[in-house]
Amino acid sequence: MALEKVIAHLEEQLESLRVALDALSYPLLIDKSRTEDVALSGYSGDALTEITHLLGEAIPAANRARQAAKYPVDLDGMRSALVTCQEKVVEVDKRFRNGLMSFENIEALLALKRRRGQWGKWADTVMRGLQETQELLPLAEETIVLIWQEIAERAGTTSVSVQTTNIGQKIIAKTSEVEEMAQKEAT
């Protein structure tokens, strides 16, 4: 697959991830005033804000990588942008798993979900949003790996090998012969 297309696919995946996180923002940030467990909602809202910020840095980095993949390819610029993107996506995944999907957080959401009524619906909405996000994150990480593979393949096909050989003879003149030749040329 063409490198630019794979990077464009990554951008689409990151955008889908952003949309899924935006859907979580309503129950966690806006609707949290209606929840009894404001501590859970506040903690989750803070984690979501951090994750959204990191993703907001990953998306432009992916865009820079795609721009650098256009002809003429800026391999160093693409590599640099992709490294930034990958670092941000890995951090998003880490904070998502350790924050929003932590055992304690899921346990608290399940307890709220069992209550039924308003709190159960709120917890169910959050759980569905978390599940959707959890399914999207590995796809983006896999695509980043595919991009690195494409870059490695390109680097492997454009390699140049330089080999030197010494062919010829070395001529050494004696000092007296050099003096004689200089005298002949002077006259």
Could you tell me the CA-to-CA distances from 6 to 40, 65, 121 in Å, in that order?
Answer: 38, 11, 38
Is residue 36 predicted with pLDDT exceeding 80? no
Span 58-95, pLDDT tens digits: 999 999 999 999 999 999 999 999 999 999 999 999 99
- The Cα–Cα gap between 138 and 144 comes to 10
pTM of the model: 0.77
Q: What percent of the chain has pLDDT over 70?
A: 79
How crowded is residue 187: how many other Cβ atoms within 10 Å of its Cβ?
4
pLDDT mean across residues, the chain: 85
Contact 28, 45 (CB under 8 A): yes
Tell me the domain boundaries of the chain: 3-186
- The Cα–Cα gap between 151 and 102 comes to 35
